[in-house]
Amino acid sequence: MKPSVRCLTSTLRIAVALLAAGGVTACAVVPALAQRIRNLAQRPTLVEYDPPALSVDTSPLEQVGCTLAEPWWTCPEGGPQDEWDCEVLQSVSPLLGGLDPAPLAACIVRGRDALPEGEYLYHTGCAYPAYIRYVVAENGSLRLVRNLEELRALAAPIETPEEALSYALASQGLSALYDLSVDPGFRYQTRQLQETHVETISEGYRVFLFNDYLCGCGPHTTFAVPVEVSRSGEVMRLEPQPLFQNPEYDGLCVD
């Protein structure tokens, strides 16, 4: 049975009295204990989901001589990395395996304004962004997918929840999280914490993803970001919802 707020408040009073008797001032301990009580009282309900059993067949890359030392691919001179001016080729999540053809690797180009709008699907990072495109295998050869329009032409129609999950991840640069837990040390801004899952809606699918990037200075908030994917391949982010903050990152600044 979870402790009540009244019980926890009584515990706080007793703890402060004992610490004061031992020469520790209440001012030093009350804020931390009070915050912990607030965290316990506000702990959300966790709703868990199993990840789909997806995988990506990377044999087309291996057949042209590329080798993987996780997470980077190394290809022979003149191979895919050189052909498309990728600074690096990075392995992709198995969760992209719902697409056919599925992305085999991410072709990454780094640097502010390294690629113009419309020549990449999304970018990650902070002051020094990484622009993401994909290498796929189509009709026995490798090709580069540069933007959402090209990905949509390959992937649509989106006909299953697994396809919708892969499509949302490939196009938006958000995270799928299936291993969440309720940490009593975190600050929560929600009453229900749902892991990644896909809901069927009239227009297609709603995919529940997360934005957990750490840019700028703390406090850093993890957001839930619902993404609607239509059967024709249109994609739209809905309003992000703040979920939680890790106090250990309050003083962290990321450039």
What are the extents of the domains in the chain? 1-41, 59-156
8 A C-beta contact, residue 167 and residue 233: yes
8 A C-beta contact, residue 201 and residue 183: no
Residue 250 has pLDDT above 70, yes or no: yes
Question: Which of 19, 30, 52 has the alpha carbon at shortest distance from 178?
Answer: 52
At residue 36 the predicted structure's pLDDT band, cuts being 50, 70 and 90, is: low
Residue 20 has pLDDT above 80, yes or no: no
Report pLDDT digits (tens) over 172-202: 999 999 999 999 999 999 999 999 999 999 9
> What integer pLDDT is reported at residue 1 of this predicted model?
38
User: How far is C-alpha 140 from the geometric centre of its chain's CA atoms?
Assistant: 31
Of all residues in the chain, the percent with pLDDT exceeding 70 is 84
Residue 45's DSSP bridge partners are: 192
> What integer pLDDT is reported at residue 23 of this predicted model?
52
Read off φ and ψ for residue 197, nearest 5 degrees.
-160, 170
8 A C-beta contact, residue 45 and residue 193: yes
Three-state DSSP class for 141?
A: strand
At residue 132 the predicted structure's pLDDT band, cuts being 50, 70 and 90, is: very high
Q: Is 8 exposed, middle or buried (0-12, 13-18, 19+ CB in 10 A)?
A: middle
> What integer pLDDT is reported at residue 4 of this predicted model?
41
CA separation for the pair 107, 114 (Å, rounded): 13
Question: Which of 170, 155, 162 has the alpha carbon at shortest distance from 53?
Answer: 162
Residue 89's DSSP bridge partners are: 73, 107
Question: What's the Cα-to-Cα distance from 105 to each of 35, 59, 89, 144, 162, rounded to whole Å?
Answer: 44, 11, 6, 10, 19
DSSP 51: P
Residue 24 has pLDDT above 80, yes or no: no
Say which amino acid occupies 52. Answer: P
